Structure 1
């Protein structure tokens, strides 16, 4: 594992947790909303991480 990515992963996990908490307090959650939210964030994270690795 590349050590350069370690703080990036921690930062993104904290961001996901914070945005998830804000999202769950803002809207009545259904499982489909939650799934779409998490998949979108993970896709964006993958794009950002792969862009940084190149």
Structure 2
């Protein structure tokens, strides 16, 4: 989270880089963060689904 006093120190990525990023903006990050707290198993299952696995991931 950014406090107003430090906002002038923020550095923004180029728009093209931001557009193609896995987490393109603070709002997306906050949504992901909230989901990770509310339902960590589902959150990490979705993250694991993004990886290439030689064998399917196992576990809870």
TM-score bucket (shorter structure): 0.3 to 0.5
- In terms of fraction of residues, the more helix-rich structure is 1
Q: TM-score, normalised by structure 2?
A: 0.34
Instruction: Report which of the two structures shows the higher radius of gyration computed on alpha carbons.
Output: 2
